[in-house]
Structure 1
Amino acid sequence: MLTLLLAQTQTACVSQQKGLEDSPVEEPGPPARLWRRSASERDFDRFTREGTALTTDGALVLDATARTESTPVPAGRKEDGSTRYHEAAYRLGHAVSEVQLVPGGFTSVVPSFDVLTPPGTWVKVTLAARIDGVWTKDYELGVWAFDKEPVARHSVDGQGDADGYVSTDTLNLKRRAEALRMGVWLHSSQPEVSPRVRALSAAVSDKKGVAADAVSDRAAWGTVLEVPGYSQMLYPDGGPVWCSPTSTSMLLGYWGRKLAQPALEPTVPFSADRTYDWVYKGTGNWAFNTAYASAIGEGVLHGAVMRLDGFAQVERLIGAGIPVSISIAYAEGELTGSPVRSSDGHLIVLKGFTSEGDVVCNDPAFKTNEAVAVTYKRDELWRAWQHSRGMAYVLWPVGTVLPAELIGLLR
């Protein structure tokens, strides 16, 4: 009986969370939008580059002009709290995007990136915003590598100033900005090896959120995708806080089966290992989850963190055969049928809709793989989702495109 009581009151992924997003208010902000630049569209031609070049297919790589540095760089945090450093020489180059105007402004940005990092290489991503005509500093939004050496992937603490602050994977601004600029820094400790940047994205939104879920065209009602179900609770050594990599593993498992790519069906512990943020000390870094998913299997998938304003957008993805993972939070009694009474932050997979429009999900907080399938009431889940202001992981195969007009694109 005691074991059952503990299971009922446990808060899923509690130690993973970065704090609730500002709750939406009645006065709506601008709709969420997506800035994305990719090799396939030759977008990096417009970037300002130093020590980097474009491959024949448009990707960013280090070139012969990349300078050599020997200044030690942070390599992640040790278990005792001290910082590790990469002290050997490395090659360095960077590329900075053109200025992107954002009509209506924004107060929050979540970056994501498709990058292949062979052993010995890593990248750093930066964001800057223009507020009242003045640029902020370049905030660091993560150091990424698929492997843990020579630099372990990590977010960057302690960047708050008068303009804003970084909360692990999100730049939050204290005043409305009118433009953004994104940079990527490529590093290699090997003479002939380079990272390969395929795409950079930024989910741009307003802290006010939206006032209500959008009206559905009901085209995807009755459609449920065959997403494999994985429980995070099968792994006592970390599993109770692995909702994010477990959800990412379910998305990967779906694509692995659909594309006949066994490399896209990793174990949950493997996904947890490859999404672990050595500064945040957890696996819930949003950008790291989509970066990992787009790098595994030699990059057969694209991935992006998006802010979506409602389930009508999810329905378009489901209709196109694309499941998504979303971040939710809820108090006791707010999400009927959930495996835990409340959560201050949790990731689940959305795989379809009932004929009445309720949402068919895989919730990894259930105790077994067979039990994770659950249907949540549409209105209840929408409210739970708004605590992250519509955050979603979206993965799709290279060579395909997302549904047209899924989300407002910044160009």
Structure 2
Amino acid sequence: MTMTRSTSRRTVLTAAIAAAAGAVAAPASPAAALGAAPPRLVDNRFWSSLKDWRSGEAAGTRVVAGRRPGVVIGTPSGRTEYTDPHTGTTSTWESATWTSPVHRSAVPASEVVASWNARTPAGTWIEVELRGTYADGAATPWYVMGRWAAGDTDIRRTSVDDQSDGRSSVWTDTFAMNSSAGALRLASYRLRLTLHRRPGTGLTPTVWRVGAMASDIPDRFTVPASPPRVARELDVPRYSQNTHIGQYPEYDNGGEAWCSPTSSQMIIEYWGRRPTAEDLAWVDPAFEDPQVCHAARFTFDHQYSGCGNWPFNAAYAATYRDMSAVVTRLHSLTELETLIRAGIPAITSQSFLKEELTGAGYGTAGHLMTVVGFTPDGDVIANDPASPDNPAVRRVYRRREWENIWLRTKRYNASGKVVSGTGGVCYLYWPAHPTAAQRRALAAVGIR
């Protein structure tokens, strides 16, 4: 079984639906029965343009223009004493902040996942925080959504546990409403970036994109079937995580748990990027596909103790030249087909029993794979890293089975207990300057 996220991470979220054991899918609403368009369940807001950056509140940061606008440290506005919980080292950092305008989500949200694209040269790092307002007008605290650096010598990149106000909590990389909050939802939010550097230097991180996906996916064990619309297969490199079993066990016990970084590496190389020989010099030369080991190391979340932190994988992809990356949710296979038609593969998150996905040969509480196309019959072509070797990575999965295990939010595990599904979560990576067709496809799924 491949595991990308510890069972404790999502098991906590299932407390809100424990009473749903034995429940059935809700009947269609009157609007749906009349053929009205279904409601949007996902809201994406990302700040990345010059206008976006100028709309925020700066305290020591400045906006840089160019083909890829962003924010950097101008004149630091403060100093931070940070004790790294994973090394015990206390260091002093100069800091500056940028705070987004308030974004009122088109979807009152039960979950929010932030993601960011940044460059953090040695001697720098960033913190990303979220503060929201509930539908009743009360505010959340500032929640840390990640402390991140591309490298691992200045700080250890980390999520932050034990963040809650009793109504909402942060579980590794996901803001989530607590079960005790009932139908209460998050109505709006803002994000705050804190950029850090070694005092007395001219170093600075550069952040090109920051934003979040807010969603409220209803409880569902099944989703409606969608008709096939696209037959295309993208030429995406194939890498097996299982050829790395036992390698670098300090990163989540080695390759058996590396489905997320292995999938990330496939798409990074699809877009023509890869680590340099210098980047890979630390990897044992006896190991094949050393870039997979590299991806595991540099997506590793030292608090979560795994490589499956969703935003950390997106941030890793965006460390490569002119790459953009986000974490989002899609509504349907039709949206995924829109991306494939435009030449954009996707990394999807799903969980299932062995008998629920014909041909997989395994069951999993959480697994990432790369969708690279669709057959003429509409079946899903996936590069599944949970394969014995690279040639075996290409799989064809039955459309209806795959659609359901990816888009549902509730499922039964092997013990018959109701547990959660990911509800269409995926990572999208694409060039910072996409073609017109790729821009249209991304816009069609809410990414701008």
TM range (shorter): 0.7 to 0.9
2: CA distance, partners of 1:14 / 1:195: 29
2: CA distance, partners of 1:266 / 1:248: 14
SS in 2 for 1:399: coil
1:8-64 Cα deviation digits (max 9, x unpaired): xxx1126645326658953687421211110x3530111011010001233100112
> Corresponding residue for 1:206?
216
> Corresponding residue for 1:370?
391
2: CA distance, partners of 1:367 / 1:172: 36
Q: Which amino acid aligns with 1:26?
A: A
Tell whether the 8 Å contact from 1:336 to 1:377 is kept in structure 2 after alignment: yes
Tell whether the 8 Å contact from 1:154 to 1:278 is kept in structure 2 after alignment: yes
CA offset at residue 354 of structure 1? 0.5
Tell whether the 8 Å contact from 1:187 to 1:194 is kept in structure 2 after alignment: yes
2: CA distance, partners of 1:142 / 1:373: 33
**Match among 288, 294, 297 for residue 270 of structure 1:** 294
Deviates more, 1:304-313 or 1:382-391: 382-391
**Match among 108, 117, 121 for residue 118 of structure 1:** 121
2: CA distance, partners of 1:75 / 1:151: 6
Q: Which amino acid aligns with 1:328?
A: Q
Q: Which amino acid aligns with 1:334?
A: E
Tell whether the 8 Å contact from 1:75 to 1:151 is kept in structure 2 after alignment: yes
1:75-117 Cα deviation digits (max 9, x unpaired): 2425xxxxx2332x32101111111112341110011001110
1: CA distance, partners of 2:305 / 2:255: 14
The alpha-carbon distance between structure 1 residues 127 and 53, as it changes in their structure 2 partners (threshold 3 A), is same
> Corresponding residue for 1:142?
146
Tell whether the 8 Å contact from 1:213 to 1:310 is kept in structure 2 after alignment: no
SS in 1 for 2:84: strand
Q: Does 1:245 align with 2:295?
A: no
CA offset at residue 402 of structure 1? 5.2
CA offset at residue 377 of structure 1? 1.0
1: CA distance, partners of 2:128 / 2:367: 25
> Corresponding residue for 1:406?
444
> Corresponding residue for 2:315?
291
Pairs within 5 Å for 1:155-166: 155-166=159-170
The alpha-carbon distance between structure 1 residues 368 and 180, as it changes in their structure 2 partners (threshold 3 A), is same
Q: Does 1:72 align with 2:81?
A: yes
Q: Does 1:319 align with 2:357?
A: no
Q: Which amino acid aligns with 1:103?
A: A
Tell whether the 8 Å contact from 2:339 to 2:442 is kept in structure 1 after alignment: no
2: CA distance, partners of 1:139 / 1:15: 20
- Percent sequence identity is 31
Tell whether the 8 Å contact from 1:86 to 1:150 is kept in structure 2 after alignment: no
Runs of 4+ in structure 1 displaced over 3 angstroms? 14-17, 20-25, 27-30, 213-217, 261-266
The alpha-carbon distance between structure 1 residues 352 and 263, as it changes in their structure 2 partners (threshold 3 A), is same
1:157-192 Cα deviation digits (max 9, x unpaired): 010222211111100023312111111111011510
Which stretches in structure 1 are left out of the alignment for 5+ residues? 1-10, 79-83
Tell whether the 8 Å contact from 1:143 to 1:154 is kept in structure 2 after alignment: yes
> Corresponding residue for 1:26?
26
The alpha-carbon distance between structure 1 residues 180 and 262, as it changes in their structure 2 partners (threshold 3 A), is closer
1: CA distance, partners of 2:4 / 2:313: 18
1: CA distance, partners of 2:352 / 2:361: 12
CA offset at residue 405 of structure 1? 3.9
TM-score if structure 2 supplies the norm length? 0.80
> Corresponding residue for 1:380?
401
2: CA distance, partners of 1:390 / 1:201: 18
> Corresponding residue for 1:6?
none
Tell whether the 8 Å contact from 2:42 to 2:329 is kept in structure 1 after alignment: yes
2: CA distance, partners of 1:48 / 1:214: 45
Which stretches in structure 2 are left out of the alignment for 5+ residues? 18-23, 29-38, 179-183, 247-253, 277-288, 408-420
> Corresponding residue for 2:72?
61
CA offset at residue 384 of structure 1? 1.4
Pairs within 5 Å for 1:2-17: 11-13=1-3, 16-17=6-7
Q: Does 1:96 align with 2:91?
A: no
> Corresponding residue for 2:156?
152
1: CA distance, partners of 2:350 / 2:244: 22
1: CA distance, partners of 2:118 / 2:219: 30
**Match among 222, 226, 229 for residue 235 of structure 2:** 226
Q: Which amino acid aligns with 1:396?
A: W
2: CA distance, partners of 1:123 / 1:25: 42
The alpha-carbon distance between structure 1 residues 384 and 215, as it changes in their structure 2 partners (threshold 3 A), is closer
> Corresponding residue for 1:43?
52
